[in-house]
Structure 1
Amino acid sequence: MKALVIGDPLLSSERLETAVKKIMGDVEVARVDWKPASDEEFWFLRSEVEKKGPSAGRPPKEIFDHVGDVELIITHHTPINAEIVAAAKKCRIIGACRAGVENVDVATASKQGIAVFHTMGRNAHAVSDYAIGLMLAEMRNI
C-alpha cells in the first residue's frame, strides 16, 4: 500500500509517517509539508478553511507529485480540495487527524468512492483536565 502524509506547522509529516508505519506496518509513505510563509499566514489560512471549506486554502503543489498513485491520504489541517481529490485516482481513504473534516472536500471524495474519517475525541483528555481545573478554581474562588 502507498500512503501520502501531509504535515503542517502543528503536526509534521515526519510524525504522521511514524504513526502510519506503526499502525500499518509495511507501507510506502510519501511526505509533504504545508508550510505557509509565516505563522500568521498559517493561522489565517487555517481560519479561512474552517469558515469557507477546503477551497479557501492553498495546499502545497508537491501534493500532486504523489497523490495520483496513493491509496491513503493522511492530513492534519492542510486543505484537501476538489482538485486534489480528483487527482487521487487510486485513493480509497482520506484521514484527518483532527476532530472535524472542514479541510477535506468530503462531497467530492464521496462521489469518487473515497471514505473520509476524522479523529473525534483526540483532545478529550486535555479538555477533561481543563474542566477539572476550572471546577477546582471555582470552588476555591481563584
Structure 2
Amino acid sequence: MTTVLAAGDEFVAPQLFVDALRDAAPGTDLAFRTLRSPWPVEPFGPVGGVDEASGSEEGVLKALGDAEIALTQMAPFTAKVFEQAPALRLISVCRGGPVNVDLAAATKAGVVVSYAPGRNAAAAAEFAIGLMLAALRRIPASDAELRKGVWRGDYYAYDNAGIELDGTTVGLVGYGAIGSIVARVLNAFGSHVLVADPYTDPARAAADGVELVPLEELLRRSSVVSLHARLTPETRHLLNADNLRLLPEGAVLVNSARGGLLDYEPLPALLAGGRLGALALDVYDIEPPPADWPLHHAPNVITTPHLAGATRQTAHRAAAISAGEVARFLRGEPLRFVANPEVLPGGAPQ
C-alpha cells in the first residue's frame, strides 16, 4: 500500500486530488491522508524560505507522517519538511511551477518534484481578453457611474469613445500556453497580434498568424499590451520606466500574469501624462496592494484580486494533471513535467 498526502486548499480541495488519483490509478492500493490550507481565503506568502505558500511547515509534517507521495497546490515543502520526512519520494504540485517547494532541498533529499503547466491556460486567457475589453470599452467605470444615477452620454463623444479589438494592434509579451490562446482569440476578433518571446519559433509564430518582434518594437507599435511571460530573475520588471515610455500615447496595458513582470512605480505618472490610457491589473508587486497604493483611486484603472485562473475547470484540470503524474510514477512510467530531473534514475530528463 502506498500512502499519499492530498494537501489541498479552498480552491483545489483535498477530495479533488483523491478522486483524480483514484481515476488515474484504478486498482492501485492507496491510503490517503488529507490537509487543507486556508488559501485563497487567506493570501499566500513566504513560508520557511519558499514563496507563494499557504499553511505551515508543522502542519505539513503532521499530515505527512510516513506518506511517500504528496499532491499539493500551496502547501509549503521546505528544507525542514524534507529533513523530517525521509519516506517522501514524490511531490506533485498542481501549478505551472513548484514555487512552494524548496527545489534544492527536494533534490538533495532525492524527492522528485513534478508540476502542472497549462492547468489554467484557458481560464487565464479568457480573463485577459475580458480585461482588454473592459478597459477598451470603459465597462467597469460606466457600470459604476450608472449605479450612482449618472448617465454618461459623453462616452459617445469621439474623444471619449472606446476602441475595438478589430483592426487594433495588440502586443503579447510571452507566448506560452496562455499567450497562444489569447492570440487565437484576438485573431478571431480581427486584431493584428505582435508577440515578443525569445523562445518562440518564428515558423510557429507565422503558422499561428502572429508577428514575432523584439520587445521594444512591440511596445512602440501596440495600442494594447498584455503580459503572459513567466516570472524569472531575467523577466523581473521586464516592463519598466524606460521601455514603457515607448508605448503609443493612450495605450492600454494589461497584466494578469505576474506582478513582478511589471515595475508599478512609474504607472501613476504614465497614466497622468496620458502615455497610458488605461490599466487593467489582476496581479501586483505586493498582494494585496496596501491601502495607500496610488492606483486605488486613479482614473482608467481596472483592478481584480488575482482571479485570472479562478474557474472550476481549472481546479479539476489541476488535480487531474497532478494525479496523472503520480499514476505514471506508481507505474514506473516516464513523468511528463519534472522540475528536478537529476534525481531520476540515470539523472536524465524523462
Q: TM-score range by the shorter chain?
A: 0.7 to 0.9
Q: 1:13 to 1:60 in 2, by over 3 A?
A: farther
Q: Of residues 45, 64, 76 in structure 1, which corresponds to 2:73?
A: 76
Deviates more, 1:119-128 or 1:69-78: 119-128
1:1-142 superposed matches below 5 A: 1-25=2-26, 26=28, 27-35=30-38, 39=41, 42-43=42-43, 46=44, 48-49=45-46, 53-54=50-51, 58-59=55-56, 61-130=58-127, 134=132, 138-139=165-166
Q: Classify the secondary structure of the residue corresponding to 2:118.
A: coil
Q: 1:106 to 1:31 in 2, by over 3 A?
A: same
Q: 1:131 to 1:55 in 2, by over 3 A?
A: closer
Q: Which ranges of structure 2 fall in alignment gaps of 5 or more residues? A: 134-163, 169-350
Q: Classify the secondary structure of the residue corresponding to 2:46.
A: helix
Give, as a single letter, the amino acid of the residue that structure 2 aligns with 1:138: L
Deviates more, 1:114-123 or 1:64-73: 64-73
Shift in Å, 1:2 = 1.2
What are the Cα deviations for residues 4-56 of structure 1, in whole angstroms up to 9, with x where unaligned?
010112211111111122112331111111137x92xx21xx1x239x62597
Deviates more, 1:125-134 or 1:76-85: 125-134
Task: State percent identity of aligned pairs.
Answer: 25
Distance 1:82 1:12 in 2: 25
Aligned equivalent of 2:322: none
Q: 1:130 to 1:99 in 2, by over 3 A?
A: same
Distance 2:77 2:110 in 1: 15
Shift in Å, 1:64 = 2.4
Give, as a single letter, the amino acid of the residue that structure 1 aligns with 2:6: V
- Is the Cα contact below 8 Å between 1:68 and 1:87 reproduced in 2? no
Give, as a single letter, the amino acid of the residue that structure 2 aligns with 1:32: L
Q: 1:131 to 1:56 in 2, by over 3 A?
A: closer
Which aligned segments of 4 or more residues in structure 1 are displaced greater than 6 angstroms? none
Deviates more, 1:54-63 or 1:97-106: 54-63
- Is the Cα contact below 8 Å between 2:18 and 2:32 reproduced in 1? yes
Q: 1:54 to 1:90 in 2, by over 3 A?
A: farther
Normalized per residue, the structure richer in helix is 1
Say which structure, 1 or 2, has more relative contact order (CA 8 Å, 6+ apart): 1
Give, as a single letter, the amino acid of the residue that structure 1 aligns with 2:32: V
Q: 1:130 to 1:84 in 2, by over 3 A?
A: same
